[in-house]
């Protein structure tokens, strides 16, 4: 590290000396151009020697003050040129002003200062842009590797800003081993136009012909905002043309705003599901997270760990990671220490059912915001173990929520699920009771309780996509429960972003519902994943329908009976007007349910659940059903709300 800093210091000194020489040369060149000779008179040399110290001090100070010595020359841009123009202009005005104060201005030809202003910009700016052109290989004979037979010929889809940035990086780094042949773009106005000398050869439907004519080996999709239908069509076009294809991630995932070749990746199922990046009110999120102590239960789960990563970006005072899985806690703790070395982290091993552990944690750290993401979530397993599902999800929520009120937590954000709506399974019923607990406690406390309800998230632990990937890797078959089963999907980062946004919007008592977009037919999802693997559905990989399991619906819902949905200021977040509840009676019923569970799960337990959740309708073969075959549990499409 010290050696690197030493080298950087030497480079800065060399640049400083170089600029000093260029500023000096500019003054001499200005006089020579003004008088048309290199042989200047004694009077002219005297004027130069008097002005030169002023020019050096003023111009070099302005260059340093405006940051020209902090930038890297290989990335010099138009913005740097604007800074140079401003610095040169202010410098010339200062020099003229000082000469006026010294009453020497009348001795100088006025045009010299205009010429000097122009020459300084040309010499100082030119030196930087010349270096950038050199680093980008513009002075090499083999521009863009077009003559190198070892370079891969690539076609860029999208003649926009992202495509231009990809091309520029390829031209500037011959070590990448790519040779562009041109662009394709569906915008007719761009047809036959050129970018850095490379032509827009046609539209995306011309890809097969262009691939064959130019021997293209890879296609780069450089349109981060392309809709899913367009991506699917381009994917199939490339597949039929027998050419590899890569794509850029969504704009929201390109964190620094810079598009690079290294960001290109293989197509993923997320690219075909039509989810656009959420637009966040970062100011509102920052206002309730920055410099606050935040606690996250279930911190090692899919949603919990992503909550940790994204909350950490808003500079909380402390982040409390509450998790009962030692391995999961270790993983997220190590990740956060690497990503946010200055953040105060407190990994706490604990179970939400352990009242003493929860209370000790709250007393010790006094969190101001709690995100409650800990719960059992797997529908088939919870149907087999209904008593544990209810105890963990109901009693666990009661423990954390009740103690949050006792210890003055300002905001409590409860992560829920669409399976809580008209539940047909124990997991959904338990989450609906957890929602009611938050609503009831919020009515009589200063703690603001906010519930966020959403559907399935992609690639969560135990969900359908990892299971499909595993089945495809084994050669199939891919198992789907029903040919007409649909589910809503969003990515884990998007779900977490919207959870934080809803938390910022909530004033207490709301049930926020995330816009899940269009439902996806699971069998179509399976076929897309098989195609992305380079295989043919129903030919290379069979799809087998295994039948709906106990508690499973064909469609999931987001509203319960009596709830009305209203819009919010955020286009992807709705709010449900919660039904009125009698909290004392409800609390008594919940306590009776938990007491009943101490005796085990029985038929009368279902009746007690229905007293709390009247629209709970367990299907035939509900809780307590014995699953006779491991194939009955091959996958479940679920929101990840827990470990």
Catalytic amino acids? 419
Query: What is the distance of C-alpha 218 from the center of its chain?
Result: 26
Question: What's the gap between Cα 103 and its chain centre?
Answer: 61
Contacts of 122 (CB under 8 A, 6+ apart): none
If we measure between CA atoms, which residue out of 337, 275, 274, 285 comes closest to residue 309?
337
Phi-psi region of 274 (alpha: psi -120 to 50; beta: other; left: phi over 0): left
Structure tokens, 397: 């929520």
Strands 218-221 and 152-157, bridge-based pairing: parallel
φ, ψ of residue 228 to 5 degrees: the values are: -60, -35
Beta strands in 424-504 (DSSP E): 448-454, 456-457, 478-480, 486-487, 489-490
Both structure tokens of 92: 């010339």
| CA-based R_g, the chain, Å | 32
The Cα–Cα gap between 61 and 63 comes to: 5
For 564-582, b/e burial (b = at least 16 CB within 10 A) is eeeebebebbbbbebeeee
Structure tokens at 99: 């000469």
Start-to-end CA span in the chain (Å): 39
Note whether 379 and 636 are within 8 A (CB). Answer: yes
Write the CA distances from 550 to 31, 419, 508, integer angstroms. Answer: 91, 14, 35
Per DSSP, the three-state class of 549 is: coil
* Residue 120: strand, helix, or coil: helix
Kindly state the tokens that stand for 334. 């190590």
Q: Are 183 and 201 in contact (CB under 8 A)?
A: yes
Distance CA 192, CA 512 (A): 49
Helix (H) or strand (E) holding 520: strand 520-521
Rounded (10°) CA dihedral 610, 639, 488, 294: 110
Q: Identify the three-state secondary structure at position 54.
A: helix
| Cα(225)–Cα(221) distance, integer angstroms | 11
Which among 469, 421, 412, 474 has a CA at the least distance from the CA of 441? 412
Q: Give the containing element (helix H, strand E) for 247.
A: strand 244-247
Task: Report yes or no: 551 and 561 within 8 Å, Cβ to Cβ.
Answer: no
Say how many C-beta atoms besides its own lie within 10 A of residue 56's C-beta: 16
- Among candidate residues 89, 123, 92, the one with its CA nearest the CA of residue 18: 123
Look at residue 593 and give its three-state secondary structure: helix
- Strands 244-247 and 265-266 come out as antiparallel
Say which DSSP state 75 is in.
G
CB < 8 Å & 24+ apart, contacts of 345-349: 345/318, 345/319, 345/321, 346/318, 346/319, 346/320, 346/321, 347/299, 347/321, 347/323, 348/320, 348/321, 348/322, 348/323, 349/323, 349/324
């Amino acid at each position: 590290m010290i050696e690197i800093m030493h080298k950087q210091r030497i480079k800065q000194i060399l640049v400083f000396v170089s600029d000093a020489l260029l500023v000096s040369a500019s003054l001499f060149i200005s006089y020579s151009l003004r008088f048309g000779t290199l042989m200047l008179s004694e009077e002219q040399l005297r004027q130069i020697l008097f002005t030169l110290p002023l020019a050096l001090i003023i111009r070099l100070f302005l260059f340093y003050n405006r940051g020209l010595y902090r930038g890297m020359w290989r990335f010099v841009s138009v913005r740097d040129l604007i800074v140079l123009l401003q610095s040169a202009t202010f410098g010339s005005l200062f020099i003229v002003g000082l000469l006026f104060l010294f009453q020497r201005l009348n001795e100088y030809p006025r045009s010299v200062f205009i010429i000097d202003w122009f020459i300084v910009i040309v010499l100082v700016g030119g030196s930087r842009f010349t270096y950038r052109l050199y680093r980008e290989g513009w002075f090499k004979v083999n521009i863009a590797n077009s003559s190198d037979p070892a370079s891969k010929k690539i076609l860029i889809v999208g003649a926009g800003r992202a495509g231009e940035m990809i091309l520029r990086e390829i031209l500037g780094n011959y070590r990448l081993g790519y040779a562009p042949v041109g662009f394709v773009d569906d915008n007719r106005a761009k047809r036959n136009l050129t970018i850095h000398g490379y032509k827009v050869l046609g539209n995306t439907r011309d890809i097969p012909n262009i691939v064959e004519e130019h021997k293209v080996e890879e296609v780069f999709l450089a349109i981060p905002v392309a809709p899913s239908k367009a991506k699917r069509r381009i994917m199939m076009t490339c597949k039929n043309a027998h050419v590899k294809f890569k794509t850029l991630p969504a704009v929201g995932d390109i964190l620094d705003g810079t598009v690079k070749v290294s960001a290109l990746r293989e197509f993923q199922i997320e690219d075909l599901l039509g989810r656009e990046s959420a637009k966040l009110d970062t100011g509102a999120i920052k206002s309730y997270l920055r410099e606050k102590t935040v606690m996250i239960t279930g911190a090692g789960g899919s949603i919990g760990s992503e909550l940790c990563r994204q909350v950490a970006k808003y500079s909380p005072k402390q982040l409390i990671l509450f998790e009962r899985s030692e391995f999961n806690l270790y993983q997220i703790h190590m990740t956060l220490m690497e990503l946010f070395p200055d953040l105060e982290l407190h990994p706490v091993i604990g179970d939400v059912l352990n009242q003493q552990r929860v209370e000790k944690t709250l007393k010790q750290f006094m969190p101001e915001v709690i995100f409650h993401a800990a719960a059992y979530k797997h529908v088939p397993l919870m149907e087999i173990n209904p008593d544990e599902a209810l105890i963990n999800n109901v009693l666990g929520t009661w423990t954390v929520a009740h103690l949050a009120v006792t210890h003055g937590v300002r905001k409590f954000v409860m992560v829920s699920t669409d399976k809580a709506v008209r539940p047909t399974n124990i997991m959904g019923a338990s989450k609906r009771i957890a929602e009611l607990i938050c609503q009831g406690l919020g009515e009589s406390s200063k703690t603001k309780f906010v519930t966020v309800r959403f559907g399935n998230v992609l690639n969560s632990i135990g969900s359908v996509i990892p299971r499909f990937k595993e089945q495809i890797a084994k050669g199939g078959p891919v198992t789907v429960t029903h040919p007409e089963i649909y589910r809503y999907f969003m990515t884990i980062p998007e779900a977490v972003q919207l959870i934080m946004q809803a938390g910022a919007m909530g004033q207490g008592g709301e049930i926020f519902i995330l816009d899940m977009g269009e439902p996806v037919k699971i069998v179509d999802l399976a076929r897309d994943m098989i195609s992305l693997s380079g295989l043919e559905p129903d030919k290379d990989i069979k799809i087998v329908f295994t039948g709906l399991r106990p508690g499973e619906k064909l469609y999931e819902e987001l509203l319960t009976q009596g709830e009305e949905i209203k819009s919010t200021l955020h286009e992807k977040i709705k709010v449900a007007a919660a039904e009125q509840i009698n909290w004392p009676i409800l609390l008594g019923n919940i306590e009776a349910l938990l007491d009943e569970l101490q005796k085990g799960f029985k038929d009368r337990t279902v009746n007690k659940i229905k007293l709390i959740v009247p629209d709970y309708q367990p299907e035939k073969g509900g809780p307590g059903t014995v699953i006779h075959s491991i194939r009955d549990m091959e996958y479940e499409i679920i929101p990840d709300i827990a470990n």
